[in-house]
Structure 1
Amino acid sequence: MKVGNNDRRKPDTASPQREEAVIFADLAALCASPGFAHAIAYFCHRDNLIRFQSEVTTYDLARLHTGEQLTHTEISTLIGLLSRQSIDYALQPLAVTQGVDFH
């Protein structure tokens, strides 16, 4: 298992790069969408929960540092963008909240 390789997905260089302000505006709009608070809760659970059997091992902790998880700063940014307007706590289907297709 690789630990701490920080191999974030590289942007598609074939597509034209978008301006940071445009990306941030899109992210702010996403955070304002109904039920996004539940998606943030899912990210926090997925990326910060330590799963173990009887004792915590270095292997259990290593999965928290693969570079695929959102950082605390990224999650804090999402929470900040979410809190800029009144929060709609409407529940969305799991496929929407967790970004997976269950079919």
Structure 2
Amino acid sequence: MKKENRSEQEVFADLTALCSRPGYIHAVAHLSLRDNVIPYTGSMKEADISKMSSPSRLCRTEINTLVGLMVKAEIDWNLPTPALMQENVDTSERLLEELHHCVSGEVFAGLTKEAVENGTFNPFATGNVLREPIFYCGDAAYNFQYLDLPAEVCCRCALASGESGVHGRLGIAHCQGDRGGSCRPFRLNPRVHATTVP
């Protein structure tokens, strides 16, 4: 029996609920480290970097989506059990893959044999067909550019009174962006480079 395809909104709702789970920040940290760091010993070889082209690797926009959904709620920093951590990672990957299928399905909307034969099929008739290549294209920023985002949030935090300004619009608590925002994995970058394996 074929499983029915879910809508993009249903998948996104599940992803939002997942990202607000206690300790989810550790799953994001794991995914970010796994998919953005190339471990190697001695000199780097082709085999060391081949995983960066793997279709199972999450692109930075996918990881940023997880971070964005995570900071919409209060971040729970408690370390989950290994089983829960693995469940969070596996569920993240499954939902992101399902979301990718939902978004890429726009390319085939209206595709019928008749539409092709009579020349009326035009996937570019709406902008929806462009969502998938834009979201899943190569990285739009260098990793050091992400460092400016939490600083910007905190600068606005100092200027905001109460929950106005950026915090009111984004629904985040004061300075929460700096405590665990999208740059957290990139702050780790110098420490990763300083770590050597004998």
**TM-score after normalising by structure 1:** 0.79
Greater alpha carbon shift after TM alignment, 63-72 vs 27-36: 63-72
Aligned residues between the structures: 88
Looking at structure 1, the residues matched to 41 and 75 of structure 2 have their Cα atoms a distance apart, in angstroms, of 37
Larger Rg: 2
- Structure 1 partner of 2:122: none
Q: Which has the higher contact order (CA 8 A, sep 6+)?
A: 1
Instruction: Give every structure 1 segment of 4 or more consecutive aligned residues whose post-TM-superposition deviation is greater than 4 Å.
Output: none
1:59 aligns with 2:47: yes
Instruction: Output the amino acid matched with 1:80.
Output: G
Instruction: Output the amino acid matched with 2:69.
Output: L
- 1:25-44 to structure 2, matched below 5 A, reads 25-44=13-32
User: Hey, which of these two has a bigger chunk of helix by percent?
Assistant: 2
Contact 1:42–1:98, Cα closer than 8 Å, also in 2: no
- 1:2-81 to structure 2, matched below 5 A, reads 14-81=2-69
Instruction: Output the amino acid matched with 1:25.
Output: A
5+ residue gaps, structure 1, are 1-12
Q: Percent identity?
A: 38
**1:98 Cα deviation after fit:** 2.5
Q: Identify the match of residue 89 of structure 1 among 77, 82, 99.
A: 77
- Structure 1 partner of 2:186: none
Tell me the SS of whatever aligns to 1:73.
helix
Contact 2:27–2:85, Cα closer than 8 Å, also in 1: yes
**1:77 Cα deviation after fit:** 0.1
Deviations 1:30-67 (A, max 9, x none): 00000000000010111122111101112111111111
Greater alpha carbon shift after TM alignment, 18-27 vs 46-55: 46-55
Looking at structure 2, the residues matched to 98 and 39 of structure 1 have their Cα atoms a distance apart, in angstroms, of 8
Looking at structure 2, the residues matched to 31 and 60 of structure 1 have their Cα atoms a distance apart, in angstroms, of 30
- Structure 2 partner of 1:8: none
**TM-score after normalising by structure 2:** 0.42
- Structure 1 partner of 2:178: none
**1:97 Cα deviation after fit:** 1.0
